[in-house]
Amino acid sequence: KQEVTQIPAALSVPEGENLVLNCSFTDSAIYNLQWFRQDPGKGLTSLLLIQSSQREQTSGRLNASLDKSSGRSTLYIAASQPGDSATYLCAVGVQGAQKLVFGQGTRLTINP
Amino acid sequence: DARVTQTPRHKVTEMGQEVTMRCQPILGHNTVFWYRQTMMQGLELLAYFRNRAPLDDSGMPKDRFSAEMPDATLATLKIQPSEPRDSAVYFCASGGLRSLIIGNEQFFGPGTRLTVL
């Protein structure tokens, strides 16, 4: 059974810092990996999608990497801003199906 | 502006009542998912459909929950009878094949916050 873990559960950093959020999964036979952002009381916004054959994806100040063999993904946020404060969720697409298994998320706070 | 819509956004009901949640997927998407989010369990997949056919509902309590997709523009999740432990946020997501390279990406609706008293 695929399990997804995100560390740390919460992170608070001053504005302007570069930071890394971690995601690990137990079964390397994945279809894809998706990073989401969730604001309090809101739905999920897709940030980046990495196919199993890819190593990384970039969008603006965000860069996500995938190392399938070690069961890890990282989300790198450059030059953090208070508007980046949210919960970030990592989800793994189960191979053979498109259903996602989610981690518990990292609650990020960027302090002005 | 293509997005997944869900109704109602909030629902408060009493134990034993029937609850129906609705979802309109993004036009052209062929896969629809229902998730439940709680503080304790996080996000859990309840069921999903492809081309309106149910593919997996193993995450759903069968005795009280049912999911249907009467047409390509409407998916429903019904709870009958509802119980306090069903209180959660229920999300619908839709996905479609963006390309053979990028593959499926899921887009989430704003959720229905359900409170069962």
Q: Taking residues B68-93, what's their average pLDDT?
A: 95
Window 91-110 of A: residues touching B by CB (8 A cutoff) are 91, 93, 97-105
A78-102 residue pLDDT tens = 999 999 999 999 999 886 656 789 9
How many degrees, rounded to 5, is the angle at CA B110 between CA A101 and CA A27? Answer: 5
Taking the C-alpha atoms of residue B95 and residue B65, their distance in angstroms, rounded to an integer, is 22
Contact assignment for B42 to A93 by CB distance below 8 Å: no
Instruction: Decide if pLDDT at B101 tops 50.
Output: no
pLDDT over 70 percentage in chain A: 96
Q: Taking residues B83-108, what's their average pLDDT?
A: 79
**DSSP label at B117?**
-
Taking the C-alpha atoms of residue A86 and residue B30, their distance in angstroms, rounded to an integer, is 29
pLDDT averaged over chain A?
93
Q: Taking residues A60-79, what's their average pLDDT?
A: 96
CB-based contact (8 Å) between A51 and chain B? yes
Burial class (CB in 10 A: 0-12, 13-18, 19+), B67: buried
Q: Taking residues A32-38, what's their average pLDDT?
A: 94
Residue of B26, B30, B50, B108 to mutate, interface with A, max A Cβ within 10 Å: B108
**pLDDT at residue B95, as a whole number:** 84
pLDDT band at A21 (very low <50, low <70, confident <90, very high): very high
pLDDT over 90 percentage in chain A: 79
Residue of A100, A106, A107 to mutate, interface with B, max B Cβ within 10 Å: A100
pLDDT over 70 percentage in chain B: 92
Contact assignment for A45 to B108 by CB distance below 8 Å: yes
**pLDDT at residue B57, as a whole number:** 84
Task: Give residue for tokens 């969720």.
Answer: A89
Residue of higher predicted confidence among B96 and A35: A35
Interface A–B counts its CB contacts (< 8 A) at: 54
